[in-house]
Structure 1
Amino acid sequence: MKTVLMSNRADLKERWSEFKSENPKTRIRDAARELDTTEADLLATGLGDNIILLEGDFRELLKEVTSLGYVMALTRNDHVVHERKGVYENISFNNHVGLVLGEDIDLRLFLGDWKFGFAVHEGDRYSLQFFNSFGDAAHKIYLTEESNKEAYDALVEKYRAADQEAMALTAVKPEKKAEEQTADIDTAAFQAEWLTLKDTHEFFGLLRKYKLSRKEALRHAPEGYAYQIKPESMKAVFDAASETALPIMVFVSNPNCIQIHTGPIKKIFVMGPWLNIMDPAFNLHLREDAIDEAWVVRKPTEDGIVTGIELIDKEGVMFNQFFGKRKPGSPELAAWQELVDQAVIRK
C-alpha cells in the first residue's frame, strides 16, 4: 500500500512543482482545486523536506500552543479568511469539542475529524496546520516575530510522527446535495417558538426540530425578525463600524472550527472580489461575489434582542456572521442596532 501511496505522491509532487513555477502567486488551496487534489495532499508532497507530519492527541498539542506566545490563528472556508493575532489561553476540551477563550484568540473547536497535522516551514514562515479527512484546512497557527521559536521546535519534535511516509491519501469528499425544500411547515408554531428563544444557540435546535434549512428558516421568520439585504451592504457596515470605532464580533466557520474576532475594525478596502479588513491584529478577507443571500436576523434572548448579519452561499451554507460586541448577561449595544438599521441596504 505504501508503495502505491508513495508513487501517487511522487507524481503529485512533480505536478505541484510545475504548477508553482508557472503560477507562483496562486495560493495552495486554489492550486489544489486546479490540480484536482487537496491542500493536505499537496503539503504531504513536502514530507522529508520542509514539511513534518505530526501525530498524537491534537487536544494535548493544542493545550501546549500557549507556550508559543503571540501567534496568528487562521480559520477559513471557501469564501472568507479570518486571521487573528494573540495568545492561546484558557484552553479546555469536553471529549472532542474544545474552547479557546483568550483575550484575543477565541475559538470553538470540533476535533472529531481533525485527521492530519503538519509543521510547515515556508521561507521565514513557520506554522502548525491541521486538516480534516477530506484534506480541507481545519485550522492553522502561524508564528510571528514575537513568538517563541524554541517552544515551537520543542512542540514539533514532541509530536513528530515516527514514520514520515505513513500518511494516507485524503478521503474523497462527498458531493453536496441540492437543498431540499421542506414540504409541510407549521409556520405559526415555528414563529411562536422563535419568539420564545432564550439563547441564540437554541436556534440550531429549532431548525432541526422543524427540519428547515437556514434559508427556509429565515424566509419563515416572524415579521420583522429577518429581512434580506444586498451583499454590497457589507462594505457599508464595515465602513460605519470603522468610522464609529464600534466594537463588533466577526465569526468565520468551517465544519471543524469557528474563529471569532471581538473588537473595533479600522482599515477597510476592496481588492478585486475581496472585501478586506487589514488591521495590525485582525485581518478578514471576504469574497463578496460568494454571497448568494445576506440577511439581518434578530433573535430574542434572556438579555434582549440579538441582531446579527448572516451571509449564505449558493449551496445554502452560512459562512460568515457579524454581531455587535456582547457578552452573555449583557444586552446588545444599541449603537450596533442603529448601525445595522442605517448602514444596510434592504433588498
Structure 2
Amino acid sequence: MMNVSFEQHAQALRERYARYKAQNPKARIRTLAQDMSVSEMELVAAGCGQIVPVRLTEPAQDIFKELGSLGRVMALTRNDWCVHERHGKYEDIRAGRVMGIVLGPDIDLRMFFSSWKFTFAVNDDGRLSIQFFDAAGAALHKVYITDESDVDAYHALVARFTDPDPVWPQAVPDVPKADETVARAPAQLREDWLAMKDTHEFHELLKRHNVSRLTALRDVGEDLAQQVPNDVAERMLTDVAERDIAFMCFVGNRGMIQIHSGPIKKLMRTGPWFNVLEPHFNLHLDTTAIDSAWVVNKPTADGWVTSVECYAANGDLIAQFFGARKPGVPELTSWRELLVGYCPVPLAA
C-alpha cells in the first residue's frame, strides 16, 4: 500500500504534469521533466499522464539477470543528444555487483551498476516496459515489450520483483565534480597510445595520465586523432548505407553503453535529428548538438582500428562509430578507407 506522503507527492506532480503537457502536447516525458525541473523517474513514479507504474525491488542486477525470459524486446539507451534502440533478445547476461555485460547477437550492452538506483515496471497506455534510473532519477536503460515478446513472462517478472511497500523514491540531484584532469597531455601519452594492444586499454591510459578524452585527442598528434567537420557523422552514416559497410554504433550514459553491429539502409532527417530507421535498429542523433567530431586511430594486436567520435559542448561523448569487427579480426578495409578519406592529414598506419 502507498503511504500518504507518497500519494501527496504523486498527486502534486500529476497536476503539474497535466498543465505542462496541455501546453506542450507533443513533448516527451524527458523534455517535460526538464521543463518542470524534476527527474523523469519522479514523473514515472507519480503515474503522470497515462502511466501506471510498479516500483520494483533493488538491486537492479537481480531483475536484469531475468530479462532473457521476455524473449525479443526493444532495448533503449540514450543520452541528451542521441537515442539508440535495438530489437532482440537478452542473451549471455552477466550482471555483477559493479559491472555487467550482455553479449547476444542482437542485444549488446555494457552496464556500470554503481550508478543504478530505481527500477519500475511501466504501463504507459498499454505499452509495457521495464525502466532503470540512476540516483538522480535520469533514465539509464529501458526494455520495451513488443509483439514478439513473452507478455506472460513480463507479468511474472513484475510480480516476482514488485516492492510490497514502496515509499516515495527520493531523487538526489547530481553535484558536478570539479574537473581535476590536466589541461595538456604529457608527451608520454603518445608513446603509451602507440603501445596499446587493445582499444579497451584507452580508458586506463586516460586515467594514468589524468587527461580527459578530448585533451588526449587534441594533444596526441593528428596521425592518431584529428578533428574533422561536425557533419562527418551524417556523412559517414550516409556513406556506410550507400556502400553497404557493416559498422558498430556505441551510445551510452553513465550507467550503460548500447551497441549495434551490422549494415544499415534507411536514413531520414527530421529537424535537428538524423535518423537510422531499420526494423531492428533505430538511431536518433541530434547533429546540432555535435560540438566537435574526430577520427581516432588506435593500434591493436589485430592492426589499426579507426573510429568516428562525436562530442557535446560539455565534453561528453555523444556517440562512437567503428567498423564491424570482433576481437582477433582485423578492421574492415572498406571502413578504414572510408575514414581515411575524411582526414586531411594522413593517419598512422
- TM-score of the pair, normalised by structure 1: 0.94
In the alignment, which residue of structure 2 is the partner of 1:88? 90
**Deviation (angstroms), 1:169:** 1.9
**Deviation (angstroms), 1:61:** 1.4
Q: Give the gaps of 5 or more residues in structure 2.
A: none
Q: C-alpha separation between the residues in 2 aligned to 1:21 and 1:255?
A: 32
Change in 2 beyond 3 A, CA 1:249/1:183: closer
Secondary structure of residue in 2 paired with 1:158: helix
Secondary structure of residue in 2 paired with 1:31: helix
Q: C-alpha separation between the residues in 2 aligned to 1:59 and 1:174?
A: 25
Secondary structure of residue in 1 paired with 2:164: coil
**Deviation (angstroms), 1:6:** 4.1
Q: What one-letter code is carried by the residue in structure 2 that aligns with 1:125?
A: R
Aligned-residue Cα RMSD (Å) equals 1.9
**Deviation (angstroms), 1:22:** 2.5
Q: How does 1:125-136 map to 2 (within 5 A)?
A: 125-136=127-138
Deviations 1:85-109 (A, max 9, x none): 0000000133221111001000001
User: Which range is displaced more, 109-118 or 2-11?
Assistant: 2-11
Deviations 1:300-325 (A, max 9, x none): 01111010111111111112100000
In the alignment, which residue of structure 2 is the partner of 1:292? 291
Change in 2 beyond 3 A, CA 1:184/1:70: closer
Contact 2:53–2:122 (8 Å) recurs in 1: yes
Q: What one-letter code is carried by the residue in structure 2 that aligns with 1:112?
A: S
Secondary structure of residue in 1 paired with 2:66: helix
Q: C-alpha separation between the residues in 1 aligned to 2:7 and 2:124?
A: 22
Q: C-alpha separation between the residues in 1 aligned to 2:319 and 2:241?
A: 18
In the alignment, which residue of structure 2 is the partner of 1:15? 16
Matched, 1:115 2:114: no
Change in 2 beyond 3 A, CA 1:182/1:73: same
How high is the sequence identity, in percent, across the aligned residues?
43
Secondary structure of residue in 2 paired with 1:117: strand
User: Which range is displaced more, 42-51 or 236-245?
Assistant: 42-51
Change in 2 beyond 3 A, CA 1:58/1:244: same
Of 72, 75, 95 in structure 1, the residue corresponding to residue 74 of structure 2 is 72
**Deviation (angstroms), 1:243:** 1.0
**Deviation (angstroms), 1:8:** 3.3
Contact 1:236–1:343 (8 Å) recurs in 2: no
Matched, 1:171 2:169: no
Contact 1:309–1:322 (8 Å) recurs in 2: yes
**Deviation (angstroms), 1:49:** 6.6
**Residues matched between the structures, number:** 342
Q: Give the gaps of 5 or more residues in structure 1.
A: none
Q: What one-letter code is carried by the residue in structure 2 that aligns with 1:255?
A: R
Matched, 1:208 2:207: yes
Q: C-alpha separation between the residues in 2 aligned to 1:14 and 1:132?
A: 24
- TM-score of the pair, normalised by structure 2: 0.93
Deviations 1:229-262 (A, max 9, x none): 1111112111110011111000001000000000
In the alignment, which residue of structure 2 is the partner of 1:182? 182
Deviations 1:243-288 (A, max 9, x none): 1111100000100000000000111111111010000000000011
Deviations 1:184-207 (A, max 9, x none): 6422x1111111111111111111
Q: C-alpha separation between the residues in 2 aligned to 1:73 and 1:6?
A: 31
Secondary structure of residue in 1 paired with 2:296: strand
Contact 1:233–1:344 (8 Å) recurs in 2: no
Q: C-alpha separation between the residues in 1 aligned to 2:122 and 2:183?
A: 49
In the alignment, which residue of structure 2 is the partner of 1:150? 152
Secondary structure of residue in 1 paired with 2:25: coil
Q: C-alpha separation between the residues in 2 aligned to 1:68 and 1:76?
A: 21
Contact 2:185–2:220 (8 Å) recurs in 1: no
User: Which range is displaced more, 128-137 or 91-100?
Assistant: 91-100
**Deviation (angstroms), 1:176:** 6.0
Q: What one-letter code is carried by the residue in structure 2 that aligns with 1:131?
A: F
Contact 1:325–1:333 (8 Å) recurs in 2: yes
Change in 2 beyond 3 A, CA 1:329/1:28: same
Q: C-alpha separation between the residues in 2 aligned to 1:263 and 1:225?
A: 25
Contact 1:230–1:344 (8 Å) recurs in 2: no
In the alignment, which residue of structure 2 is the partner of 1:334? 333
Contact 2:185–2:216 (8 Å) recurs in 1: no
